[in-house]
Structure 1
Amino acid sequence: MGFSREIVLMGQRGHHSHTSYFRRLIGFVILSCLVAVFSMGCTEGLKRPVSAPLENRNPFVSSQASKVKLRNLRKVLLAPVFVGQGALQANNHLAMFEGRLEEVARGQLGIESVSGRDVKKRAIELYGTRRPNYGDRLSLMESFGCDSLLETEIVRFDERVGSTLGANSPAQVGVQYRLFTKEREPVWEANYHFNDRALTEDLLSVRNRFSGVEGAGFKGAPGLVEKSILQAVGELESQREQSFIR
């Protein structure tokens, strides 16, 4: 009996030992979670440094066009995308950008848009590979019976070096949009400038890499240009629609 009782007591001690171990483990996990939540809260309370990633700000800025001029638009010509000297890498994706611009304009703009091979051929005849001037724009519009011209210029295009999770050199993109009528100056302008930052420059951006509507990780330059197209055309159509509201 004494021997059996000793065995039972040993078993009970072993059971209590395991139970105590698991309780300590669970307590440690809960404590770790609380510390993490507290740290995140403290981080939110800190003032953002000057080097905060621009993905937390709006990279798209647009001017407000005249309502009268927007109401009078009937047919817009989509000029071939122009690539500046600081964005020569974008030439590798030019056909994709022009195709995307054409697709978005036809899907979102409430007026007729003209683009494609004939437009590009005529543009090359008029001004080749240089940036079009006032006379070039007028001639191009008149060639296709348009009353306006949307000009897209990529001024910066630095592709990301590395993966979405670990970029050695993040993407830098700058795109400018200008809407011309028969006037010398544009009636509407928009700029999209996105400068991603490496985690070593701003550790507070770690959580933003894995959350938000733009998706996780470091952005790629081609995708950023496409996003700028969506925003620019969407903003232009939004202002055009608002021009009919008195």
Structure 2
Amino acid sequence: MFTLKSFIGQFKKEWVLFRAWLYVGIFLGILISIVIPYLIERYGNGFTEENQLQFAFTFLVLALGGFYSVLQFVASLRLDLRSKEIWLHSTSSIRQLIGVKIVFSLTGYTIFNILFTGIAIYSLRAAFIASFGQVLLLLVFVVAIIALFQLMIFVSILLFLAFYLQMKYFIGRFAIVLMMGAYFGCIYLWFRFTESIIYVKIFQHIGISLSWLEQYLPKSKLPSMDIRLGTLYVVEELALTILFALLFIIATKWLEKVVLR
């Protein structure tokens, strides 16, 4: 039976094993986003403005942070895959154990994003007119979107990890090539599908305009740089939620079957 106590216990275990990943990520991020732009500005003889450099390097940190978070999540999974006894003798199901790993990785990634998204917004402070509340809302909005996107990546990784282990059983090391091809192929087909007319006709219904939120977001000094929000489609969001919930269930069940056979 999975209780709050067992969840906290599993979360603490992940923290003990992988907290160094968060510390190292934050340290390297600060080095890249703050220290390097400062050194370039100081010794670069006016190469460019410090704020522009800081934003560019912070954006790079945020991009690399997503990949770094994926590596940490995969490392956590691999640790358990090498010790099947952890899953065999646990009182919790594999789905619950993997769920804790996702929560931990997503929590660390969110902390990372709060810090460096804040730095990115601060580096653009001269281009916007905003109160503290508006900046805070923008920060929450951006971090939430990034976290949801990362959650979808974690679920897709689980699915293709199960696919890889299944194929490895049949074709050996060549399975990694097949898995990577299938992964990027599915991503390409997914984006093509979301851009199709069929997708629009099926899923983009019951739209809720988010333009009313724009008044609570920072205002740019240049009208062309104002933040514009689109429309949230209830049917689309509900369908995506159900889809990824089903993918998570399928992936964990498949992973359990492959690992514990």
Higher relative contact order structure (alpha carbons within 8 Å, sequence separation ≥ 6):
1
> Normalized per residue, which structure has more helix?
2
TM-score over 0.5 for the pair: no
Higher-Rg structure is 1
TM-score w.r.t. length of structure 2: 0.24
TM-score w.r.t. length of structure 1: 0.25
> Normalized per residue, which structure has more strand?
1
